[in-house]
Amino acid sequence: MDIDPARPSALPTALPAGSSACVEIDLAAIRANTAELKRRAGAAEVMAVVKADGYGHGAVASARAALAGGASWLGVAQLEEALALRAAGVDAPLLTWLYVPGADFTAALRAGIDLTVSSVWALEAVCRAVGESGTVARVHLKVDTGLSRNGAAGPDWTDLVRAAAAAEADESVDVVGVWSHFAYADEPQHPTVRRQAERFADALRDLDRAGLRPALRHLANSAATLTNPAVHYDLVRPGLAVYGLSPVPQLGGPTAYGLREAMRVLTSLALVKRVPAGTGVSYGHQYTTEQETVLGLVPMGYADGIPRSGTNVGPLQVGDQRATVSGRVCMDQLVVDLGPSYAGAAGDPVVVLGREAQGEPTAQDWASATGTINYEIVTRMGARLPRILLGEGG
């Protein structure tokens, strides 16, 4: 396809042969974003968070690109996600943090996965797995400093510290890390940010008094990595920013932080037709044409991850013009009013989301239009969309 330099996007919008829509993943962007985060992290190491299939970008490819960019750790929520990375041959240091009783800690220890421990039950289960596997567990204790989600707080933290010190003394576990997570990192001036940092410092003193001095203290997600160097400690845990999205859109987009979006979602028009004024469009006729106009049919819908709440508000780039979803987003398709003078045809390229710097609609634009966050827009892109990887191996 010819690229006209006058187009708002200088990026190619061609689909792979035989596809009606795709998710393009620029691994070079993931690598460069990680390098930028590493630069900002200073002396701290970078753990690239690749949970939820790398925020929809593909966990294994994203992990490799982030490691190439200077990450020395990987993080995932679920043990199953960690085991899948190991099965794919990813052997970098790897931390996981969310389990229920019955989790296969023995498999985790055999695979050399670091385990977060947030409770005495989890520590006891890890110690049983140590007995079965004959491998000393590397654990990171999680303290709840005010998110009130996972992690131990109050007397539970006191009990956990005591139990962990005993388990380290009998050489079942090696307490290599301690960590917590912010409730308001995306609002750097929020008073809870300082309060949580203070509680974290208190927790470090608790560990010290118990004779535990983990080398890896970590607290910062993407937002805190970008906005709060005081909490970088030994390791930062960015997720969203690795993929080139801003965790603080009210402060600045990706370009403002030296990042670029790794994901673009591309398709092309399946049909173009002229309709009279007063034509009801899509299910429930939530949109009616005001004038004679040209409608385009976009072969993507909520089954592909386009939010149904994008009805009448979702932003698109069709050919070289901006447009807005017209009428209901359906399961597999949606319609867009292209205006009376649209001269294009079926096959015209559609950018559903892409790069801020190229003037394309972004995940953030979709999030703002539909009342959610950019995280949700990228992680929900559907499994039936082929992932096209760019910049592999470079």
Ligand X SMILES: *Cc1c(COP(=O)(O)O)cnc(C)c1O
**Residues classed as catalytic:** 51, 283
Q: Is the dihedral of CA 224, 226, 231, 232 positive or negative?
A: positive
| Cβ contact 111:80 at 8 Å | no
Q: How far is the CB of 150 from ligand X (least distance, A)?
A: 8
Task: State which residue, 73 or 97, has the beta carbon closest to ligand X.
Answer: 97
C-beta of 21 vs 220, nearer to ligand X: 220
Q: Does 30 bind ligand X (CB under 6 A)?
A: no
Least distance to ligand X from the beta carbon of 161, Å?
20
Comparing C-alpha atoms, which of 363, 368, 361, 356 is closest to residue 380? 363
Which residue stretch of 21-29, 200-208, 238-246, 301-309 sits at the interface with ligand X (rule: CB under 6 A)? Answer: 238-246
* Closer to ligand X by Cβ: residue 93 or 238: 238
Q: Judged by CB under 6 A, does residue 221 bind ligand X?
A: yes
Binding flags for ligand X, 71-100, as an x/- string (CB under 6 A):
------x-------------------x---
The tokens for 108 are 């985790």
User: Which of 238, 254, 305, 315 touches ligand X by CB under 6 A?
Assistant: 238
E strand residue ranges, the chain: 21-26, 45-49, 73-78, 94-98, 114-117, 137-142, 173-179, 216-220, 235-236, 263-268, 271-275, 280-281, 287-288, 293-298, 315-318, 321-324, 334-337, 349-353, 387-390
Binding to ligand X (CB under 6 A): which residues in 40-69?
A: 49, 51
At what angle are helices 120-133 and 154-169 packed, to 10 degrees?
20
Site membership for ligand X, residue 222 (CB under 6 A): yes
Q: How many residues bind ligand X (CB under 6 A)?
A: 12
**Does residue 239 interact with ligand X by CB under 6 A?**
yes
Chain residues that interact with ligand X, rule: CB under 6 A: 49, 51, 77, 97, 181, 221-222, 237-240, 247
